[in-house]
């Protein structure tokens, strides 16, 4: 959530910056400025009436002592009128405050200056590529056929149990999943992240705190009777560990990692892009989250990008890193880097990670602050997160890229975790 004072003091800047996200903020910002002016006028009136009432309250006793009964009663009546007026002004102030807040939360985060202009994924910038694309020959198979051939994943059984987008992993398919999870968590631990095992459902306040609500309400599974939401990513519960918390500046950066199942409705998804593991409603992911000092957050973003790059390099997958354009960024992000790995059988790039700096946007919603070492005053922190990594498309790329006539090879780094080096 953008800081209200910043919006007030920089309305034209906010409007101009959000154009890069293809968001016209002029009407909302204008309404906020007008309402804020009304708030100030109401506050001034209320303060003036309170001052008058305090003055009268002091005078009433003196008037009675002086035997000025009529004047004292008139002052009491005036005090009663002022109380009613102040109560009404306070109610009006609260209504306007709520209106301002409702408008404030509609504004997306301001993109960083480095964010390229653009409307769709076609306008994203490729900042780095790595790894070699394997030559598989004419007999290459897509991962859904490989999964069936080697009895690794049963997509139809998932449809029977739940519906499309809920695959059932079996045998070595399950063990490969578990190996990837453990590998990612171990690498995160080596990088200094503390592992968290969070709840898989969150309340409305948590969804609001990280920006999923109200922006992505339609994409989340809602447990209506209890008003809880299945998490779309571990970012939500892990970041909310620090909601309404003031941390010591010496604790920064705070680094957490978590494995979780993730749930996304993916409403409107259809066609060849959702086949197999390309797009699921339930999937596994390891997330890394940091709470950072504002002066260090972009340096930390670079470190997190390097961490994710190290994972795909160790898996031996061809990859590219994209800097997202304004139109392809999330509501909450100030700067995002996407990682894609190449699927050799499908001959396409698959997104496997997003690494983002939210600056103070989430922390402002969360009331997540650190205590400044010099002033001792609480200051809004910065938050960052990244997928490290999301499993489905990683599995798809591994199955396809490592297929041979003898079977599917397992990357060397995963063998200690899964106990086999070949799927056949």
400 within 8 A of 341, measured Cβ to Cβ: no
Q: Give the CA count within 13 Å in the CB-facing half-sphere of 113.
A: 2
Distance CA 409, CA 403 (A): 6
Q: Is 351 annotated as a binding residue?
A: yes
Q: Torsions phi, psi of 285, nearest 5?
A: -155, 145
Q: Is 287 annotated as a binding residue?
A: yes
The count of other CB atoms within 10 Å of the CB of residue 69 is 10
Q: Is 369 annotated as a binding residue?
A: no
Please give the distance of CA 89 from its chain centroid, rounded to a whole number: 37
Distance CA 173, CA 418 (A): 10
Distance CA 185, CA 257 (A): 7
Distance CA 144, CA 87 (A): 66
Helix-helix angle 26-65:11-18, to 10 degrees = 150
Q: Torsions phi, psi of 385, nearest 5?
A: -155, 160
The count of other CB atoms within 10 Å of the CB of residue 231 is 28
Q: Is 299 annotated as a binding residue?
A: no
The count of other CB atoms within 10 Å of the CB of residue 54 is 12
Q: Is 186 annotated as a binding residue?
A: no
Q: What is the CA radius of gyration of the chain?
A: 28
DSSP summary character for residue 295? T
Q: Is 233 annotated as a binding residue?
A: yes
Distance CA 400, CA 322 (A): 22
Q: Using alpha carbons only, what angle is made at residue 39 by residues 35 and 40, rounded to the nearest 5 degrees? A: 120
Question: What is the signed CA dihedral for 54, 56, 59, 64, rounded to 10 degrees?
Answer: -130
- Please state the residue numbers annotated as binding site for L-serine: 233, 264, 287, 385
- Please state the residue numbers annotated as binding site for ATP: 264-266, 351-354
- Please state the residue numbers annotated as binding site: 233, 264-266, 287, 351-354, 385
């Amino acid at each position: 959530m953008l800081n209200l004072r910043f919006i007030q003091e920089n309305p034209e800047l906010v409007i101009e910056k959000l154009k890069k996200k293809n968001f016209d903020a002029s009407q909302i910002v204008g309404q906020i400025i007008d309402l804020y002016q009304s708030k100030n006028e109401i506050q001034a009136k209320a303060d003036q009436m309170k001052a008058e009432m305090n003055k009268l309250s002091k005078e009433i006793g003196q008037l009675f002592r002086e035997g000025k009964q009529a004047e004292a009663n008139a002052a009491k009546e005036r005090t009663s009128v002022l109380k009613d007026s102040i109560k009404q002004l306070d109610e009006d102030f609260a209504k306007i405050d709520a209106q301002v807040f409702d408008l404030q939360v509609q504004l997306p985060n301001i993109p960083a200056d480095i964010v390229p202009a653009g409307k769709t994924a076609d306008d994203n910038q490729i900042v780095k590529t790595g790894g070699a694309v394997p030559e598989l020959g004419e007999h290459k198979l897509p991962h859904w056929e490989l999964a069936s051939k080697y009895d690794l994943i049963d997509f139809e059984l998932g449809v029977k149990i739940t519906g499309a987008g809920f695959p059932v992993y079996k045998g070595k398919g399950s063990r490969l999943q578990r190996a990837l999870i453990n590998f990612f968590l171990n690498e995160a631990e080596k990088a200094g992240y503390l592992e968290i095992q969070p709840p898989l459902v969150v309340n409305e306040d948590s969804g609001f705190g990280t920006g999923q609500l109200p922006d992505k309400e339609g994409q989340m599974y809602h447990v209506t009777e209890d008003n809880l939401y299945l998490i779309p990513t571990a970012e939500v519960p892990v970041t909310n560990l620090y909601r309404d918390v003031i941390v010591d500046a010496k604790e920064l950066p705070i680094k957490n990692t978590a494995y979780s199942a993730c749930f996304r409705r993916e409403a409107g998804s259809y066609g060849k892009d959702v086949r197999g593991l390309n797009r699921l409603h339930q999937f596994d992911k390891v997330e890394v989250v940091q709470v950072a000092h504002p002066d260090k957050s972009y340096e930390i973003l670079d470190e997190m990008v390097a961490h994710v790059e190290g994972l795909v390099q160790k898996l031996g997958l061809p990859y590219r890193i994209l800097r997202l354009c304004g139109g392809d960024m999330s509501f909450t992000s100030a700067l995002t880097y996407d990682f894609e790995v190449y699927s050799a059988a499908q001959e396409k790039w698959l997104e496997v990670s997003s690494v983002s700096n939210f600056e103070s946007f989430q922390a402002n919603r969360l009331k997540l602050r650190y205590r400044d070492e010099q002033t001792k005053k609480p200051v809004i922190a910065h938050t960052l997160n990244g997928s490290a990594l999301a499993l489905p498309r990683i599995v798809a790329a591994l199955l396809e890229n490592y297929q041979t006539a003898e079977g599917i090879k397992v990357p060397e780094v995963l063998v200690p975790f899964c106990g086999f080096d070949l799927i056949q």
